[in-house]
Amino acid sequence: MKDLLGCFITVEGLEGAGKTTCLETIAEALAEAAVPEPLFTREPGGTPFGEALRGVLLDPAHTGLCPEAEALTVFAARAQHLHEVIRPALAAGRWVVSDRFTDASFAYQGGGRGLGAERVAALEAWVHPGFAPDCTLLLDVDPKLGRERAAGRGEGIDRFEQEQLTFFQAARAAYHRRAEAEPGRFRIVDANRPEGEVREAVRAAITRLAEEHNRSERY
Ligand code: T5A
């Protein structure tokens, strides 16, 4: 990351954790911290190619997709996302905020699908060796509560949302392992709380990050 001037923030969590809701709060906090023109993006997606792959990945018609094909597809979208959007923006000194990144692959493919962390780590090492977010906000929610919230939106159910509770429990446990392994990068937010409290915690984390970043630029 040393050659990249901007700051890379990722937002992670299970379905219904409140990631999309908190992106607004992150934008407000970055504006208050006078961070110029942050770039908001998402995974899978972020490029025309990635968005096309997102459509395939979320389409409930592809019920037979095997875990390996799923993992390779999310990393194919990520490779293009890094090449076309993330790295150029960071090189230009912009802050980039991504709704999900590689920790989601550790959670969903490594944990949920049972591929294991080593196989996901091998893809990570191939697609973006030595590159990781500067800060990851993990909105930690009980899978049952998250599913209830997601269902409450009244939108259709995608291919992942069709999974059983055990899938999301395994994904959550994998997120926890990631956070325990890299406490300096992760900020865990208890997302089981009411929306206002979660937003405040997210705002405080981003404000602190911007202050730290400004200090490190000055010295
Ligand atoms: N995926 C992704 C992989 O398997 N591997 C990968 O490598 C990557 C990158 C993407 C899917 O792809 C998978 C994971 C995902 O299944 P997505 O749309 O990005 O899908 O992710 P989802 O988790 O499905 O997005 P959701 O929109 O369901 O969840 P959010 O964004 O966390 O939740 P949000 O903000 O939309 O909130 C849901 C509802 O809850 C309410 C909101 O108002 C909204 O109605 N809400 C709250 N209610 C009460 N209290 C709170 N604190 C609330 N916060 C939000």
d(CA 111, CA 36): 36
pLDDT computed for residue 72 by the predictor: 98
CB of 150 within 6 A of ligand 1: the answer is yes
Domain assignment of residue 1, yes or no: no
Residues 1-26 have pLDDT tens digits of: 445 689 999 999 999 999 999 999 99
Query: Is the whole model's pTM more than 0.85, yes or no?
Result: yes
Domain assignment of residue 2, yes or no: no
Q: How many domains does the chain have?
A: 1
Cβ pair 98, 9 in contact under 8 A: yes
Shortest-distance atom of ligand 1 to CA 13: 32
- Ligand 1, atom 4, lies closest to the CA of 108
Residue 101 Cα to ligand 1 midpoint, Å, equals: 13
Give the burial class of 171: count Cβ atoms within 10 A of its Cβ; 0-12 exposed, 13-18 middle, 19 or more buried.
buried
Domain assignment of residue 157, given as a range: 7-218
Q: What is the CATH number of the domain that holds 103?
A: 3.40.50.300
List C-alpha distances in Å: 149 to 28, 44, 119, 163.
24, 21, 31, 15
User: What average pLDDT does range 95-102 have in this prediction?
Assistant: 98
CB of 19 within 6 A of ligand 1: the answer is yes
Instruction: Tell me how far apart the terminal alpha carbons of the chain are, to the nearest angstrom.
Output: 18
Residue 40 Cα to ligand 1 midpoint, Å, equals: 16
User: What average pLDDT does range 57-79 have in this prediction?
Assistant: 97
Residues 38-58 have pLDDT tens digits of: 999 999 999 999 999 999 999
